Amino acid sequence: MKKRYALFVLIPLAFAACSKSNDAAPDAGTQVAGTYQLNYIRQDSVNVIDSLVLPYIVGSTTIASGTIQVSRLTASTDSVGVSLQIQGQNSSSGLGVVTVQANGNTYDLYDGSSKIGTADGTNISIDTDPQDSQPYRLILRGKK
């Protein structure tokens, strides 16, 4: 009786262990989505450049920190936003929707036809004005 019971349990387990997985690999939008701790920010405007490595800590007090939030919209699009906390005051801003395209082991982020960033699922880098002559530029880097 015990042998029959053991065979009754083990045979289905053997089939289950040998079956192929039907799990699809996560799409580009899902791979990039998540919350990244902001570790660098740079803002350029007419003849003024401000850059800061984050978190910015003086003594034991965190003066400035932030996050980049990337939310999946579709398999190939994500919504990007940034939140900053400066001396206890919170500020959030939506950067918009980006198209996510696989590029080898990384993902390129596009605003229309302009490449504005890269991500690898752990790190993200965004440059809102990579090559054009706009008077304002924002560079963000973060890590999950």
What are the tens digits of pLDDT across the range 43-61?
Answer: 888 778 899 999 999 999 9
At residue 110, the pLDDT reads: 96
pLDDT digits (tens, 9 = 90+) for 2-50: 555 444 555 555 555 555 556 678 899 999 999 999 999 998 887 788 9
CA dihedral 106, 112, 115, 117 (to 10 degrees): -60
At residue 134, the pLDDT reads: 62
Q: What DSSP letter does each residue of 46-58 carry, written as one string? A: TTEEEEEESSEEE
75 backbone dihedrals φ, ψ, rounded to 5°: -60, -25
Nearest Cα residue to 80 out of 116, 50, 44:
116
- Set out the domains of the chain in order of their start, with CATH numbers: 23-143 (2.40.128)
pLDDT digits (tens, 9 = 90+) for 57-115: 999 999 999 999 999 999 999 999 999 999 999 999 999 999 999 999 999 999 999 99
In contact, 39 and 141? CB cutoff 8 Å: yes
